[in-house]
Homo-oligomer: A and B are copies of this chain.
Amino acid sequence: MNTLYLSAASNVEWLESVFAPLLEHDGFIRTLWHIFCQVRDAGGGSHIAAGIFRSDYMLHLLDTSSEKTASLKQVEMNTFSCAGACHAETVVNMHRHLAKVADASKPIGKRSLPSLVEATESTDGVVRTLRAAHKAYKTPPTDRQTCILMVVQPWNFNIADERPIEYGLWEGDVPCYRCEWPDVLSSTRLLDNGMLLYTPTTTSEAEIEVSVVYYRAGYDEAEYLTDAGRQTRLRLEMSKAIKCPDVLGHLAGTKIVQQALAEPGNVKEFLPQEKAKDVQAVFMSMQNLDTLASELEARGKALDEDTVRDQVLKPNLEGGGYNFYGTEILDHLDHMPRREWCKFTIMQRIEPPPNIHGLLLLDGGIYHGPVVAELGVLGGVVWRRGARGTLGLMRNEMAGFTFKTKPKGVNQLNVVRGYGCFDCPRLD
């Protein structure tokens, strides 16, 4: 899956054809694409890039009357600023501990420790990938220190998912500094040779050369509304530091790319035949909203309750929480000019097995009832862009997983917003 998206992200012509119809109306994609063009035209950036990807899957029933027809389907591919690695590890460890405690109080003959998944070392998976990228940064030997710059959002609630990565890097003697998105322009300096220098806020003793820019910010449309916001991203991309990931890697995670890859025939353009079939099978059917509407109109029809009942509408934004489900879609479209429809992907809803029950500790209290779970497979990648859109994979490894569960009635799955919980799969 990593190879598929990276191959697509390396093929600029193909990407351009995918984004072309959206550039006029999707401001976020236009901003990112424009930054890519500026960097390309100036001959800036790095040929090497890295990524912490998270491919999210849910179980889907081909036939809702039989659980035997369940198979994994891709919800979305996250290529930018993926969160959850540290939380997932903490929660798995917690569940394993609690299961042990609960079992220990039973009489010795009556014990049966549930078979929980092994601890995921996903924090270390992220750290390993960043360290590999740091080592891949070639620089003529100077007496300058190099460092990883973790670009973060100010006051982000989710800091506990960032700090363990920072500490893990330092423990392996890779300096890592947090820099808040609004401070990037004042704390960094871009030299003519592309070197990015960072001055830690705690000391003014030395400028440090940035080897890797690890983005944990820059995924919100709002971060690009000011000129300073756009200049922030542009400076980072323009530098020869390795970006985790660069702007093309970022764009590869948009819904429109997922939709384009899901179209019959496209997967095998990027993957060998034997892999293509398996990968193709995890895609749900999806289409651009504008394209679908035009097709219906050509047949004298329009979007109606029947058309949207088992569909979900998704914009090109990171993370959950922006989607519309079933007939909500019609209400939402009533308030949107037709020219903006091209910004949305419409995807067949995943139909998870209905009879899985769970116990969740939500903001509002304890929930006991049917649940739906989502498996996120974390991948750590480092790659090199060759001539004419070729991809040179330098590293591609499974870097752990995340597992989240929500009540079945809740459509959105976004733990930070309180719509679900980190969880731990039970294997028996």
Specify which of B107, B145, B147, B200 is in contact with A205 (CB 8 Å cutoff): B107
Q: Is the CB of B143 within 8 A of A105?
A: no
Specify which of B104, B143, B144, B175 is in contact with A101 (CB 8 Å cutoff): B175
Question: Among residues 22 to 71 in chain A, which have CB atoms less than 8 Å away from a CB atom of chain B?
Answer: none
Q: Is the CB of A175 within 8 A of B104?
A: yes
Q: Which chain B residues border A109 with CB–CB below 8 Å?
A: 143
- A83 contacts the other chain (Cβ, under 8 Å)? no
Shortest CB distance A72–B (Å): 33
Q: Is the CB of A206 within 8 A of B105?
A: yes
With A107-B145, A108-B143 given, is the CB distance from A170 to B101 under 8 Å? yes
Docked pose: A208 CA to B111 CA in angstroms: 14
The interface bits of chain A over 197-208 (1 if a CB of B lies within 8 angstroms of the residue's CB, else 0) are 000101101101
- The range of chain A's interface size is 20 to 34
For A100, the closest partner residue in chain B by CB is: B170
Shortest CB distance A362–B (Å): 20
Shortest CB distance A148–B (Å): 11
Docked pose: A170 CA to B100 CA in angstroms: 8
Q: Is the CB of A205 within 8 A of B105?
A: yes
Q: Is the CB of A102 within 8 A of B202?
A: yes
For A175, the closest partner residue in chain B by CB is: B104
- A106 contacts the other chain (Cβ, under 8 Å)? yes
Shortest CB distance A307–B (Å): 51
- A97 contacts the other chain (Cβ, under 8 Å)? yes
Question: Among residues 196 to 235 in chain A, which have CB atoms less than 8 Å away from a CB atom of chain B?
Answer: 200, 202-203, 205-206, 208
Q: Is the CB of A147 within 8 A of B208?
A: no
The interface bits of chain A over 4-15 (1 if a CB of B lies within 8 angstroms of the residue's CB, else 0) are 000000000000
Docked pose: A97 CA to B175 CA in angstroms: 11
A: residues with CB less than 8 A from B are: 97, 100-102, 104-109, 143-145, 147, 167, 170, 173, 175, 200, 202-203, 205-206, 208
Known: A97-B167, A107-B143, A107-B144. 12 other contacts (CB 8 A): A100-B173, A101-B170, A101-B175, A104-B175, A104-B208, A105-B203, A105-B206, A105-B208, A106-B145, A106-B203, A106-B206, A108-B144
